[in-house]
Each structure stands twice: as C-alpha cells, then as structure tokens.
Amino acid sequence: MRPSDIQQIGEHLAIAWEGGGETVVSLENLRNACPCAACKGETDVMGHLHKAPSQPLRPESFRLKQLSSVGGYGLQPVWGDGHSSGIFTYSMLRDMACG
C-alpha cells in the first residue's frame, strides 16, 4: 500500500492511501517514533540495548522541513533540528494512530 497523497496540515501529517483509508499522525508522535539507531538505540547479540545519550528535543525538532520518499517503501523526514536519519516505512505509518 502506497500513499496517494501526503499533506502537512498544521502540526499533523495526513496520508491518504491508494485504495482508500487515511492516516493522520502528529509531527510530535512521528518524531518521537523515529526509528533510526540514534533515537531507538541498537541491541547487541547479548540483548543489551545501546543508546546514545538522548539529546533534548527542541521545538524545532518537531518541525517538518522536508519529506522525501525512499525507494517506494517509506518516507524520510528532515526535521527542523537537522535530524534526518529515520526512515518510516509505509506499514509503520499506517500503524500509527492519530495523536
């Protein structure tokens, strides 16, 4: 399932899906769910979670500067604080509830 339309509406991102349905997610929830290693941490073979000391998020951290599509399977947001390493797959986005 791919997006047929993506629009930022105020503090939310609205995604209309091909074949019907819509997902609306707040930019704050989206940023907090950033799946990149720096935000999520990485688990080693022993199951220990390594996580860089998290940087305090600033208001601009939740501002969406740019949104690019990645290889036809996901979206990569560029945030106001310059963070851009998180790639949200379409299935992740579809699972995100309105917030």
Site of interaction with Zn ion (CB under 5 A): 34, 36, 39, 86
- Smallest gap from Cβ 81 to Zn ion, in A, equals 10
- Smallest gap from Cβ 4 to Zn ion, in A, equals 27
- Smallest gap from Cβ 39 to Zn ion, in A, equals 3
20/59 with CB nearer Zn ion: 59
17/74 with CB nearer Zn ion: 74
16/76 with CB nearer Zn ion: 76
- Smallest gap from Cβ 40 to Zn ion, in A, equals 7
Tell me if 28 sits within 8 A of 11, measured CB to CB. Answer: yes
6/87 with CB nearer Zn ion: 87
Own/partner pairs for 90-96, CB < 8 Å, 24+ apart?
90/1, 90/2, 90/3, 91/1, 92/33, 92/35, 93/15, 93/23, 93/25, 94/1, 94/17, 94/21, 94/23, 96/23, 96/25, 96/29, 96/30, 96/33
